[in-house]
Structure 1
Amino acid sequence: MSDVTIDANPSILSHISIGTNNFEQAVAFYDRVLPTLGCKRIMEHPGTVAYGKQYPEFWVCMPLDGQTATVGNGTHIGFIAPTKEAVHAFYEAALAAGGINEGTPGGRPDYGEPYYGCFVRDPDGHKIEASHWEET
C-alpha cells in the first residue's frame, strides 16, 4: 500500500449504464434532471444516450440483448451535487419529470455530518441519488 499514487480524479468508475423499456421517456427524464448537476448529453447512438460533464459517464440505453430491462433490488446510482441547492434542484426536476420520492433532500445522520442528499426513482424504477458533501 505504500506505493499508492494519488490521482487528481477521485472517481473510481469510468461509467455506468442503465437499461430502459421506454427510451423516449427515460431520455426526457434525464434530459431534465441531469442539467441540475451540470451534466449534458455527450454522445448518442440509436437506442442509447450518454451524459456527462466532459466525457460519457452515465448511459441510458435499450438492452442490447433485446430482453426486458430490469431494476436491481438494492442497487442505486449516486450523482455528485456541487451544492445543497443543486440537490434540491435535482429532486424537484426529478419529481416534475415523473420521478417518485424515495427520500427528501436533507442530512442523513447515519451517513455522517458532511452528507446532504436526496433519493428518487426514475420512470423505470431505478433508484438515483444526488448528494453533496460539505468539507469540514
Structure 2
Amino acid sequence: RGPASVNAGVNQALGAANQAATALNNAAQDAVKQVQATVDGVQKQGTDAAAGVSTAISRAADDAKNAASVAAAQGKDAVASGQKQAEAAAVSVAVAAGNAADQAQNAAAAASAAAGKAAEQGKKAAAA
C-alpha cells in the first residue's frame, strides 16, 4: 500500500469520472434529440428546453469531474489512506453520475411536457 496503489486508485476514480461524463454527454445528446423531435411546430420553446437539459447535464458532468479531481489530490496527500479515499471518490462519482442522470431524465420529461402543452396551444390557436 504505497504511492503506487494510491495512484492506481486515483486513476480508477478519474477513469470512472470520465466514463460518467461521457455517459452524461451521450444522455444530453439523446435528450436534446428527443426534445427536438417532440417539438416540431414549437421550435423556439423546444430549442430553449433542449438547451436547458443540455446545460444541466453539462454542469452535473463538470461537478463529477471536479469532485474526482479534488478527491484525487487529497488521495495523493494522504498516502496511508489513499486507497480507501480513491475508492470512496469512485463511489461518490458513480452516485453523482446516477443523480445527474436522474436529473437529466426529469428535465427531459419536463421539457417534453412543456413542448406537448405548447403544441396543444398551437393546435387550438390554429383551429380558432
Greater relative CO, 1 or 2 (CA 8 Å, sep 6+): 2
TM-score w.r.t. the length of structure 1 is 0.27
Which one has a bigger Cα radius of gyration? 2
TM-score w.r.t. the length of structure 2 is 0.28
